[in-house]
Structures are given as C-alpha cells and as structure tokens.
C-alpha cells in the first residue's frame, strides 16, 4: 500500500518522457539549423499556449481574448525598445508587469461570470484593446505596427539572421516559465484551481475563496502571456496589430485543444504541430491552409476529446 504522501510525490516527480521532450527541444540547433526562426516562433507560441492552459486547463476559464495580454506585452516591450532602452531582460520584466496589471484589473470582472457570458466578456475585452491600439496610432503605429527599433543582444549574445540566439533565448524563457507553471500546478494553489474546475459549487462549501483564487490564476496567466508577447517583439524587432487580434486568441485556443488542455505539455505539443503544419500547408497552398487545420481540429476533437496528449496518455498510462 502506497503511503499518502507518495500519492502526491508521484505526480510531482519528473517523468522520463519529460526529460526526453526537453532534450528534443535542442534538436533544431543540430538538425534543422535553417528553421531556427520557425523554432523560435514555436517556442513563443508554446509559451502563450502554456499561459492559457493555466486558466483553461486548470481553472476552467474559457477565454477567447487571451491575445489581449500577449499584445500588451508585445507593445510594452516594443515601446520600451523604441523610446528608452533595448536591454531585453528588463523588457520582459516590464512587459510581464504591464500585462499582469491589465490581467489583474480585468480579473475582477471575469471571475464573476461563467460559461457563455465569460467567453463573450473575454472576447469583448480583446476586441476593445485591439481597436484601442488601432486608433492610438500615435503611440502604437496603428495598422502599420511598431517598427524602427532593434534589440541587439541578450546577455552578450547577438541576435543574428539565422535565429540561433533568438531560438536559444525564446527556449530558455519558455523553459523557465514552464518550471514556474509546473511548480504552480503541483502546489496547493494548483490543487485549488483543479477543485474550481471540477466543481465550482463545492469550493465555497469547503471554505475556499474561489474568486480570489481565480483572480490570481488569471493574473499569472496574463503575466506569462505578456512575456510571450514581449519575446515575439524582441526576436522579430516589430510589433504588429495582429498580436492583439481575435485571430491570435482563437489560434491559441485551437492549439491548446489540439494538444490537450490541463496537462502543461498540451500547449507545447499543440504549438509544435500547429506551427509546423501551418508552415508546411501554407507552403503547399497559401490560401487554404486553414482547411487542413480545420480538418485536424475536427478529427482530434471527435476521436481524442482530451487532445493529442490525452490520446497519447491512454497508451502510456502512469503507474497507479
């Protein structure tokens, strides 16, 4: 009979497949050196999906406006690099702070609603920010986006045209944020979030301040999304209005559902599949590549309701 403490330790411990996964993220340096900028985009998208997983997969908050925080982070890092200084790490911190503030402010409204109203609210906030950035063209460059700045290097490594440093930087930030997210989901707070997802009605009856938990989760997710946005700005030296778009919010939701929500790795796997598929399909036929994404989404949702990773887990069950 396994002891009570072991029941929890088993879930916290690193699975060998996790180590394999992270070692594989180093492969692009060796195997596909010409695709390092794509790899960097994937790492950034994976980080964005990871942030959504914290609220959707763990706390059960469905958001169709998560790009709001990605965009706030992207513009914060861009404006900072353009007008003040170009050191990227402080840029990340300030972008995280700005996105976290917006997340905390909106969380007070978000946590009061559920279901359809919640989806509409998150979407509404996303649209509001998008149009605000569009009309404030003096600050944001409007539809033309923000350009004319360059982030030269991080910790002495120069951003080169092959994207080597860009990928190394994005991957390192992704990994650090992943460690934080992993710690969160295996903490008491992470357990409370799962409790809210499993039964929001029961939580107050065991003395849980659900709304306070949700506000915190929403703010943390906003912070990580902001970091992802800032990474995109710094590695591409532009900020486009698209960072705030509804399309980006919808894409990240698709990515997370494809990969499997509530498993941390779902967003990562989903981002790899989605971005590589987009790269390949749009090479074949640039206009109709959403057809294939649509087909993939329908197939996965029909046959693997817990996403690709959920289907995978059925074949490799953890010992219980």
Partner 1 sequence: MVAQDIALELPRGARHALIGPNGAGKTTLMNLMTGMLAPDSGQIFLDGSQITREKPDDRVKMGLARTFQINTLFPQLSALESVTLAVLEREGNAHNWWRGLPRFGAAIDEAQGILDSLKIPSKKETRELPYGQQRLLEIALALATRPKVLLLDEPAAGVPKDESAALFDAIDGLSRDLTILFIEHDMEVVFRFASRIIVMVGGRILVQGPPDEIARDERVREVYLGKARLAA
Q: What tokens does 15 get?
A: 């699975």
Give the residue, chosen from 108, 114, 150, 183, that forms a contact with partner 1 under the rule CB under 8 A: 183
Q: Which residues pair with 157 in a beta bridge?
A: 154
**Minimal distance, residue 116 CB to partner 1, in Å:** 22
Q: Does 176 bind partner 1 (CB under 8 A)?
A: no
Q: Which is nearer to partner 1, 17 or 191 (CB)?
A: 191
- Alpha helices for the chain (secondary structure H): 4-12, 16-24, 27-31, 36-53, 67-83, 88-110, 115-135, 137-140, 164-185, 188-198, 202-205, 210-236, 246-259, 265-284, 289-303, 307-315
Which CB atom, from 27 or from 212, has the smaller least distance to partner 1? 212
- Write each residue from 10 to 49 as x if it is in contact with partner 1 (CB under 8 A), else as -, in one continuous string: -xx-------------------------------------
Cα dihedral 120, 123, 129, 130 in deg (nearest 10) = -130
The contact pattern for partner 1, residues 207-236, with x = CB under 8 A and - = no contact, is xxxx-xx--x---x----------------
Nearer to partner 1, 204 or 294 (CB): 204
Nearest approach in angstroms of CB 11 to partner 1 is: 8
Residue 140: name the closest of 96, 87, 90, 78 by CA: 78
Separation of CA 306 from chain center: 18
Least Å distance between CB 263 and partner 1?
A: 12
Closest by Cα among 187, 223, 194 to 208: 194
Taking the C-alpha atoms of residue 138 and residue 242, their distance in angstroms, rounded to an integer, is 17
# residues near partner 1 by CB under 8 A: 36
CB of 190 to partner 1, least distance (A): 7
DSSP letter, residue 318: P
Tokens, residue 203: 């939580």
Interface with partner 1, residue 194, by CB under 8 A: yes
Task: Give the one residue of 30, 31, 116, 201 binding partner 1; rule: CB under 8 A.
Answer: 201
What residues make contact with partner 1 under the rule CB under 8 A?
2, 4-5, 7-9, 11-12, 183-184, 186-192, 194-195, 198-199, 201-210, 212-213, 216, 220, 320
């Amino acid at each position: 009979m396994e002891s009570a403490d072991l029941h929890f330790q088993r879930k916290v411990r690193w699975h060998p497949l996790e180590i394999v996964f992270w070692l594989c993220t180093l492969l692009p340096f060796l195997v596909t050196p010409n695709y390092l900028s794509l790899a960097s985009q994937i790492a950034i998208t994976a980080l964005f999906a990871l942030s959504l997983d914290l609220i959707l997969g763990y706390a059960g908050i469905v958001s169709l406006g998560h790009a709001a925080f990605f965009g706030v982070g992207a513009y914060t890092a861009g404006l900072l690099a353009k007008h003040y200084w170009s050191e990227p790490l402080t840029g990340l911190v300030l972008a995280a702070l700005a996105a976290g503030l917006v997340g905390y402010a909106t969380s007070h409204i978000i946590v009061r609603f559920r279901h359809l109203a919640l989806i509409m609210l998150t979407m509404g906030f996303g649209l509001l920010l998008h149009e605000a950035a569009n009309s404030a063209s003096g600050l944001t460059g409007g539809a033309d986006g923000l350009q004319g700045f360059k982030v030269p290097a991080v910790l002495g490594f120069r951003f080169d045209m092959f994207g080597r440093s860009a990928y190394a930087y994005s991957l390192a930030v992704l990994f650090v944020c992943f460690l934080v997210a992993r710690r969160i989901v295996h903490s008491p707070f992470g357990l409370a979030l799962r409790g809210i997802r499993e039964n929001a009605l029961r939580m107050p009856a065991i003395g849980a301040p659900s709304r306070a938990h949700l506000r915190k989760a929403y703010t943390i997710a906003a912070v990580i999304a902001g970091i992802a946005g800032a990474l995109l700005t710094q590695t591409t030296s532009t900020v486009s209005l698209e960072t705030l778009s509804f399309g980006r919010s919808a894409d990240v939701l698709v990515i997370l559902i494809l990969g499997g929500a509530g498993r941390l790795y779902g967003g990562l796997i989903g981002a790899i599949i989605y971005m590589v598929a987009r790269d390949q399909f749009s090479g074949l036929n640039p206009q109709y590549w959403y057809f294939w994404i649509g087909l993939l989404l329908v197939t996965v949702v029909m046959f693997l309701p817990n996403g690709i990773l959920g289907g995978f887990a059925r074949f490799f069950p953890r010992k219980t």
